[in-house]
Amino acid sequence: MRNELLHVFRNTPLGRETLFQSIYFCKKTDTSLRVYIPVSKQFLMYFENEVVTVDLDDSYLRDPETAKIHAEEIIRMEGLIPRFIEPKSYTASTLPDLPVDFKYMTCPRSISDLSTKISLGYIGPKVRGIIKNSTFPVLIPASVFKPWKNITVFFGGSNNAGKAVRFGIEISRKSGFPLLLFTQSEGKPKSYYEELLDQKGLLKPLKKLSFEWLFFEKGDFRKNLYEVPHDSLVIVGAYGHGPIRDILFGSKMELIQSELPNNMLIVGPYCAVHQF
């Protein structure tokens, strides 16, 4: 796995904000940035379980003469060296194949619908397809660049939530930003969740970070989301249930992504994690 973040550049004001967010994420996590300038409205990602065809809206191909120039200017201005992806293989001679062995990828809420149609509670089907199949977490940036100064990880006890905590610990260590754990108790005591964290080998690393635990025994989950700091990177595990798992991330995840305007790192079911 490459220690890189994949960013598909959109040569628009919205795309500029998204690139700023990717750059900030890379600098805080000690991750290299790799940028793809689209040459067509589609590309393929060959994941182990499924081939995802990514459809881009027309704005990704806007003014191709200046796209790379604009991306280079922004990246150099932020102190990084521009590095681009040039697809080496094509399917049916026209569809470029992008590598999938990255550590992270940035996706706006939708990449196949015009930005004017995108609402906070809407994550497009193509982005969901990437999250569902990728071995890397997907960064969903806020619509306007905003630095984050702490990390909030949602933990409800599932295996995927444990993966989210691992990424939270790693990012907290590398960025130096404090880590907060958010748990809605669902009628279970705090000791129950501590035991789960201990079984996953996460309790000791968390204690070394002197983390803060936002543990809610009462109150409505949606209302408690107000306690998530506005300048927090939110990390959450996504998973579905039953026959609708291809559509929904899980009820809690759907609430989180529809309520919070924060930058969000979504950890899918096949994400690879590293041992401490």
Predicted pLDDT of residue 1: 82
* DSSP structure class, residue 140: E
DSSP labels, 37-101? --SSSEEEEE-SS-EEEEEPPGGGGS-HHHHHHHHHHHHHHTT----B-----EETTTEEEEP--
Per-residue model confidence as pLDDT tens digits over 198-213: 999 999 999 999 899 9
Predicted pLDDT of residue 116: 46
Q: Which amino acid is at 149?
A: K
Residue 160: pLDDT over 70: yes
Per-residue model confidence as pLDDT tens digits over 92-151: 667 888 999 999 999 987 665 555 454 445 567 788 888 888 999 999 999 899 999 999
Residue 247: pLDDT over 50: no
Per-residue model confidence as pLDDT tens digits over 70-90: 999 999 999 999 999 988 777
Distances (CA, A) of 66 to 7, 71, 86: 17, 9, 17
| Mean pLDDT over each residue of the chain, to the nearest integer | 88
Instruction: Show the domains of the chain with their CATH numbers.
Output: 4-140 (3.40.50.620), 150-267 (3.40.50.620)
Residue 56: other Cβ atoms inside 10 A:
17
* DSSP structure class, residue 186: T
Spatial distance between the Cα atoms of 51 and 68, rounded to a whole number of angstroms = 27
Distances (CA, A) of 224 to 212, 228, 247, 256: 15, 8, 25, 11
Q: At how many degrees (to 10) do helices 159-175 and 13-29 cross?
A: 80
Q: Which amino acid is at 193?
A: Y
